[in-house]
Structure 1
């Protein structure tokens, strides 16, 4: 009987401990401050493949020291919900259509905080225009070197049904390799037929991209909503 009482007391203690632990977790504050900004070159946002490029945030002074991934949207913007504090923002190595830079940006988060992260892309696309003739889309744009040793591997026109259209997610892609380009940079024109599956739609998203030799990610123009009907 004494052993049974001891067991019952032990079980009650375990339940009490579990309840205290549960209360501690329930009372744990969630991060409430929002860090937002853009990946920029000379103050201008760099458009990329949505969720294909990320930055890293690190916060020292805690027992668990690990990165906080910050994904970059198609228009070059990013956001993260954080606790107030001091952070270090860095590039993810070999990720993004820009040169690797080990420099760290110190970020102080106090409430909602806005900060831009400067990069040096291989190319920029300062302007792009799209026109429609029948079922053919014509993209005219300029690709400028932002890094002296950059070399175009290919340029492309991409069509899709969502804002996140790019080289990975698309319904049609029309690419021209460097061997078929008349110049290493400058103004280019890419044309492509709208695929049959998209022609009944009232609108589609289109954008152009430029890929540097040896780099996985492309730099893009902003997605453009092209009216069809």
Structure 2
């Protein structure tokens, strides 16, 4: 009986000790700040369209720790981002793995609702886009204005019921392995045959179509024009 009583007291002590530790953990304040902004073309001032799946991210680390953990915020399809669960403090921040020339990290003080925009140089600007239904095809014509000397590896026309359509999210895609340097004078053309893809693109329904181009650079993502909604 004595041993059982001793064990019970020991277990009770551990429980009380654990409860004190949990109370101490619960005393930490929660997130008290937020950050938001956009990724802008430094020349045009326009938001740079992004992929919603496996797209670019905002990388940030909080100062004040010996081994700070790298954290990430996903950038939305329209080129904006937001994180409402930040702690007030100083951070090192930069956008990474995007469709623009890499930029250097910056230090920023986050307090209250902080706005931080980034002006970047997109690898490619997809210009003068025309997407229309022509008979049993959807035809896209466009120009490419690339800002670096790398080759354009691929160009594509993507279709999906969601406006977040792109290379990683599409029902139908017409992709060409381009593998050359483009110029801003040539008009390029891509098309999707509606009859051949009637199983995925149902007649009488509406779909978003979007043109994109991918530069040949490490971790690069597609550059896009805004999506166009068509009834087929």
For the aligned pair, the TM-score class normalised by the smaller chain equals: 0.7 to 0.9
The Cα of 1:154 is off from its aligned counterpart by: 2.2
Deviates more, 1:28-37 or 1:82-91: 28-37
Question: How many Å apart are 1:188 and its aligned residue?
Answer: 2.4
2:76 corresponds, among 62, 69, 73, to 73
Q: 2:230 matched to 1:226? A: yes
Q: Could you tell me whether the CA contact under 8 Å between 1:203 and 1:225 is conserved in 2?
A: yes
State TM-score, norm by structure 1: 0.84
1:96-125 CA-partner distances (Å, limit 9, x unpaired): 222233x11222221222211222221122
Q: How many angstroms apart in 1 are the aligned matches of 2:115 and 2:57?
A: 17
Segment drifting more, 70-79 vs 124-133? 124-133
Distance in 2 between the 1:142 and 1:189 partners?
9
Unaligned runs of 5+ in 1: none
TM-score by length of 2: 0.83
Deviates more, 1:203-212 or 1:191-200: 191-200
Bigger shift: 49-58 or 24-33? 24-33
The residue number in structure 1 matching 2:221 is 217
Preserved CA contact (<8 Å) 2:121 2:147: yes
- Kept after mapping to 1: 8 A contact 2:156/2:212: yes
Aligned positions, number: 223
Mapped partners of 2:75, 2:128: distance in 1: 21
1:207 matched to 2:207? no
Question: 1:9, 1:60 → 2: CA distance?
Answer: 44
Return the alpha-carbon distance in structure 2 between the equivalents of residues 106 and 208 of structure 1. 35
Matches of 1:219 and 1:37 in 2, distance apart? 19
| Partners of 1:30 and 1:182 in 2: CA distance | 50
Distance verdict in 2 for CA 1:146–1:56, change over 3 Å: same
Q: State the partner residue of 1:184.
A: 183
- Is structure 2 residue 52 aligned with structure 1 residue 50? yes
- Counterpart of 2:62 in structure 1 is 59
Change (3 A) 1:183 1:6: closer
Q: Structure 1 residues 17, 182: closer, same or farther in 2, change over 3 A?
A: closer
Task: Output the aligned Cα RMSD.
Answer: 2.5
Q: 1:24 to 1:128 in 2, by over 3 A?
A: farther
Q: What is aligned with 2:145? A: 144
Structure-1 residue corresponding to 2:134: 133
Deviation at 1:68, TM superposition (A): 0.9
* Deviation at residue 167 of structure 1 after TM alignment: 1.2
